[in-house]
Chain A
Amino acid sequence: MTEHVLSPQGQQCLQALMRVWFEFERQLGRVPLLQRLERGQFSKADYCQLLLNWRQQVIEGSRWISRCASSFDRDYSDVRSTIIGHAREEHRDYEMLERDYVAAGGNLNDIQQAPRNIGTEALHGFLMYRAGQPNPVDLIGAMWIIEGLGQKMANDWAAQIDKTSGGDGSYTRFMRYHGANDDDHMQKLYQLIDRLCQSPAQLTAIVRTARVTARLYCLQLEEVEHDY
Chain B
Amino acid sequence: MSVYINSTGHFLPGPAISNDEMEPLLGLVHGKPSRLKRRILQSNGIHTRHYAIDANHNTTISNAAMAARAAEHCLTDSFIGKRQIKMLSAATSQGDVVLPGFGSMLQAELGLSDIELHSSHGICSGSMMALKAAFTNLKAGEQPNALVVASELTSRLFKASRYEAAGTALDFNAEFLRWMLSDGAGALLLETQARGQCFRIDWIRSFSHADAYPVCMSVGYPTDSNHSQSWQDYATYAQAEAAGALLIRQDVRLLENIVKLGVDGYLRLISEGRVQPDKVDHVLCHYSSHYFRGKIFDMLQRAGVGIAEHKWYSNLYSRGNTGCASIFIMLDEFRRTQNYKTGDTIVCMVPESGRFNNAYMQLTVVEA
A18 to B270, CA, bound (A): 13
Q: Is A134 among interface residues, defined by CB-CB distance under 8 A?
A: no
Contact B211 A18 (CB under 8 A): no
A15 touching B267 by the CB < 8 A rule? yes
Determine the distance from Cα of A15 to Cα of B303 in the docked complex, in whole angstroms.
Answer: 6
- Any A CB within 8 A of the CB of B339: no
Cβ B214 vs Cβ A22 within 8 A? no
Q: Name the interface residues of A15-49: CB closer than 8 Å to any CB of B.
A: 15-16, 18-19, 22-23, 25-27, 29-30, 35, 38-41
What's the dominant secondary structure at chain A's contact region?
Answer: helix
Q: How many interface residues does B have (CB within 8 Å)? A: 25
CB contact between A29 and one of B212, B253, B270, B296 (< 8 Å): that residue: B212
Q: Which residues of B contact A5 (CB under 8 A)?
A: 302
Chain B residue nearest in CB terms to A7 = B304
Interface contact A39-B263, CB-CB below 8 Å: no
Q: Does A18 lie within 8 Å of B267, measured CB to CB?
A: yes
User: Do A18 and B225 form a contact, CB below 8 Å, given A6-B304, A39-B214, A190-B302?
Assistant: no
* A14 touching B299, Cβ below 8 Å: yes
- B268 close to A (CB within 8 Å): yes
- Contact of B264 with A by CB under 8 A: yes
Cα distance, A11 to B254, chains bound together (Å): 28
- Tell whether A26 pairs with B212 under 8 Å between CB atoms, given A11-B302, A14-B303: yes
Q: Which residue of A lies closest to B227 (CB)?
A: A39
CB distance from B303 to the nearest CB of A (A): 4
Interface size, A (range): 20 to 34
A216 and B213 CA atoms in complex are apart in Å by 20
Report the Cα distance A25→B258, complex, angstroms.
Answer: 12
Q: How distant is the Cα of A196 from the Cα of B268 in the complex, in angstroms?
A: 23
Instruction: Find chain B residues with CB under 8 A from A16 CB.
Output: 271
With contacts A8-B304, A41-B225 known, is A18 near B212, CB below 8 A? no
Q: Is B261 an interface residue (CB 8 A)?
A: yes
Name the distance in Å between B271's Cβ and chain A's nearest Cβ.
Answer: 7
Shortest beta-carbon distance from B351 to chain A in Å: 13
**Contact assessment for A29 and B213 in the assembled complex, using a CB-CB cutoff below 8 Å:** yes
**B95 nearest CB across to chain A (Å):** 30
Q: 10 nearest interchain CB pairs?
A: A29-B212, A26-B212, A11-B304, A22-B264, A14-B303, A15-B303, A40-B225, A11-B303, A19-B267, A38-B214
CB pairs A–B below 8 angstroms (10 shown): A5-B302, A11-B305, A14-B303, A15-B303, A16-B271, A19-B268, A22-B260, A29-B211, A29-B212, A30-B211
Tell me the B residues contacting A by CB distance below 8 Å.
Answer: 209, 211-214, 225, 227, 253-254, 257, 260-261, 263-264, 267-268, 270-271, 296, 299-300, 302-305
Given contacts A27-B212, A39-B227, 10 further A-B contacts (CB under 8 A): A11-B305, A14-B299, A14-B303, A15-B305, A18-B299, A18-B303, A26-B213, A38-B214, A39-B225, A41-B225
